[in-house]
Chains A and B, each alone.
Chain A
Amino acid sequence: MGLNHWIICAKSVFRKDLQVELRTRYALGAVLLFAITTLIAVSAALSSATVKSEVKAALLWIILLFAALSGLARVFVREEEAGTAPLLRLSAPATAVYAGKLLFNVALVFAVECVSVPLFLVVLPPATVNFGLLLGVLLLGGIGLASSSTFVAALIAQASSGKSALFFIVAFPILLPLVLIAVQATVGAFDAIDMHHVRAQADLGLLALYSLVMTTTSFLLFEYIWHD
């Protein structure tokens, strides 16, 4: 037992989820197709318009938010549907299970970002791109997105099976501050105004703070909903 055991458990939960995902590619396929179809719809609708960088930043995060939400809810629902959740409860500490699931969701968000953001930059190119800043926003914003939605996914899986609309309703207000801060920071990465750069750098700190606070809280609260 102890820390070593905890790390092994977390790692094996993560590896198992990754294997299941790579075998079926259900979540990955759904998320990527969602991102690509919305991107096509947006760029087709805006093909003849000139779009400000503020609007582009907002569009990018709306696409990322809804694409990610459509896939992130699956991690815990899958265990409940397959009937494997009770066994998981017995064989691993609660926080280790949560850590494994969180890692998997972070990986999923990064996979979505790797595909949809380059496409976005090609289809709707902003005036200038500050790649360092954009990378920072995507990294920290992605972790924040995964951290809050993983906890809400755990709640919803306990609540009921197959009520996916509930996941959106419950997760959306919690994710909104993150998205607003991320949009503000992305505006700084998309234009050449100095004041926006300075604000974006401060926003990176806020994004890190959000991820830290939400992850800590979810680790504290997860045990109460997992063993019930």
Chain B
Amino acid sequence: MTNVSKFGPTIGKIALLLLLCATTVAGFLWLPAAKGFPQPEMARIVVFHVPCAIVADLAAAVAAWYAIIYLRRRNQADDLKSSVSFGLALLFSLLTTVTGAIFAKSQWGGYWNWDPKQTAILMLLLIYVAYFALRAAVDDPRKRASLSAAYALFAVVAVPFLTYILPNSTDQTLHPKNVINTRDGLDASYKIVLWAGVLGLSLFYLWAFRVQVALGTLEMRLTQRIHRASQGVVARAVVVEGRK
């Protein structure tokens, strides 16, 4: 084994840690207070909140993609990837909800205001929880994989009604619309920190995804081996019984 293959991953992880630390420090110290918000100093959380939301969507998209692949190829590994990515989507959605609630407390006066986007993310969380509840209810791995893939794709179709259509059909939203995209809304430095955060969290997602998939694959192989071994014992017992 060469030194590069041994230390390569470690160097990558350290670089990722430094990047995430840098975005955190920059978010608190380097960024100017955001004008245009009721509490300019407290609006810095935007640079943590928005990247979490973007990576949560990314993870959900990857999960839906592997659900489609599973239904086409019926390969257990694709089901594993889909469920791992849904788990990470749940994690990042939780982080989005929590950072959003802190933002809401400082800007709008309450942690929870039933803003259309808050309703939407609550429903997203419920869908993720329902997905795992469905998985827990099925014992047969093949059946569990196809049922949860079908549910995931069915939910993916329903979600745009909540996240895009419904918030835009009411005018009662508190959410800053397009503040981040407009030229005069936020300082340009926000964009840099925000996209650095997206990059860092995406890399973190990738790392967590690969570790969990590797773990799941090992687990799958182990249960298969135990299953096969127990079948062998039964078969031998039957043979012994037959000889008697």
Chain A: residues with CB nearer than 8 A to chain B?
148, 151-152, 155, 158-160, 163, 166, 169-170, 172-174, 176-178, 180-181, 184, 199, 202-203, 206, 210, 213-214, 217-218, 221, 224-225, 228
Known A158-B143, A170-B133: A177·B150 in contact at CB below 8 Å: no
A228 to B170: give the CA distance in the assembly, Å: 42
- Interfacial chain B residues near A169, Cβ < 8 Å: 129-130, 133
From B119, B143, B154, A218 is in contact (CB under 8 Å) with B154
- Asked whether, in the complex, the Cβ of B127 is within 8 Å of the Cβ of A173, the reply is yes
A166 to B151: give the CA distance in the assembly, Å: 13
- Asked whether, in the complex, the Cβ of B143 is within 8 Å of the Cβ of A228, the reply is yes
- Interfacial chain A residues near B157, Cβ < 8 Å: 213-214, 217
Judged by DSSP, the binding face of B is helix
Judged by DSSP, the binding face of A is helix
Known A160-B137, A174-B154: A228·B142 in contact at CB below 8 Å: yes
CB distance from A55 to the nearest CB of B (A): 15
Instruction: Decide if B42 is an interface residue (CB 8 Å cutoff).
Output: no
> Closest A-chain residue to B127, C-beta based?
A173
Q: Which segment, of B81-89, B97-105, B161-169, faces chain A?
A: B161-169
A210 to B169: give the CA distance in the assembly, Å: 14
Q: Mark B117-149, 1 if CB is under 8 A from A, else 0.
A: 001000110110110011001100011001101
Chain B: residues with CB nearer than 8 A to chain A?
71, 119, 123-124, 126-127, 129-130, 133-134, 137-138, 142-143, 146-147, 149-151, 153-155, 157-158, 161-162, 165-166, 169-170
From A148, A173, A217, A225, B147 is in contact (CB under 8 Å) with A225
A160 to B154: give the CA distance in the assembly, Å: 19
- Asked whether, in the complex, the Cβ of B161 is within 8 Å of the Cβ of A203, the reply is no
- Asked whether, in the complex, the Cβ of A155 is within 8 Å of the Cβ of B158, the reply is no
From B137, B147, B161, A181 is in contact (CB under 8 Å) with B161
> Closest B-chain residue to A166, C-beta based?
B137
A sample of 25 inter-chain contacts (CB < 8 A) reads A148-B154, A152-B154, A163-B137, A166-B137, A169-B129, A169-B133, A170-B133, A172-B126, A173-B155, A173-B158, A177-B158, A177-B161, A177-B162, A180-B166, A181-B161, A181-B166, A184-B170, A206-B165, A213-B157, A214-B158, A221-B71, A221-B150, A224-B150, A225-B147, A228-B143
- Asked whether, in the complex, the Cβ of A184 is within 8 Å of the Cβ of B169, the reply is yes
- Interfacial chain B residues near A172, Cβ < 8 Å: 126, 130
- Interfacial chain B residues near A218, Cβ < 8 Å: 154
- Interfacial chain A residues near B137, Cβ < 8 Å: 159-160, 163, 166
